[in-house]
Amino acid sequence: MTLEQARAALRSARRVAVLTGAGVSAESGIPTFRDAQTGHWSRFRPEDLASPEAYRRDPETVWQWYAGRYRDVSRAQPNEAHHLLARLERGKGEGFFLATQNVDGLHARAGSERLVELHGNLSTARCEACGTVAPLPDPEAFTPPPSCPVCGSRMRPNIVWFGEFLPELALEAAARAFEEAEVALIVGTSGQVYPAAGLALETRRAGGMVIEVNPDETELTPYMNCSVRDVASRGLAALMGEG
């Protein structure tokens, strides 16, 4: 499939599903999960900080790391890729669905509404006792750990850690949207993290078209109808006829 054909398919599709990964936020200056290990944190592996075992062992250290990441993403701004996807949503209306693996909240800040955050959100915390999810205070005033506004118990980062399942309702909604999509866009993700990476295959199995936007080949490339080899903002602009 050529770029012109992919553009025409996207333009005419009534149902569009999008999966985004770290490549979308890279243009906002947000490092990937593993690249966030700099300075003091370079002596840790991500697995040493992002697992239930790590949190049970040393909740203070885990919270300090997440508080720093929260400050970083709060300073970042949505880039053109985020704004283009919000614009695509406005054009497709109820036929649009966005699932993101990113935890920075930039899609919502750019205006996306038909959205699920499969791996959680750095700006919120979840109560260890009652499960309440609540926003964190302003990052400059935040001293972890936060306390639950409902029951007063300690809260943990509202992030899906290694060894944990994705939120069931969000994953079910995403799987349904990708199965029903006429066109699926896979933007800025390596295709290595499942089950999110398997969403593209739901569209293919159902007979829809799958288009990848990524400067590099990925594990999903062999299953794509079309691959746009560029960063997220330029690749999306080309697909949407705005480049």
Burial of 72: CB neighbours in 10 Å, binned 0-12, 13-18, 19+: middle
Catalytic pick among 40, 82, 107, 119 = 119
Please say if 119 is a catalytic residue: yes
Summary count for the chain: helices (H), strands (E): 9, 9
CB-based contacts of 87, cutoff 8 Å, min separation 6 = 240
- Residues near 140 by Cβ (< 8 Å), separated by ≥ 6? 71
Task: Spell out the alpha helix ranges (H) of the chain.
Answer: 3-12, 22-26, 52-57, 59-75, 80-92, 106-110, 168-180, 199-205, 232-239
Please list the active-site residues: 119
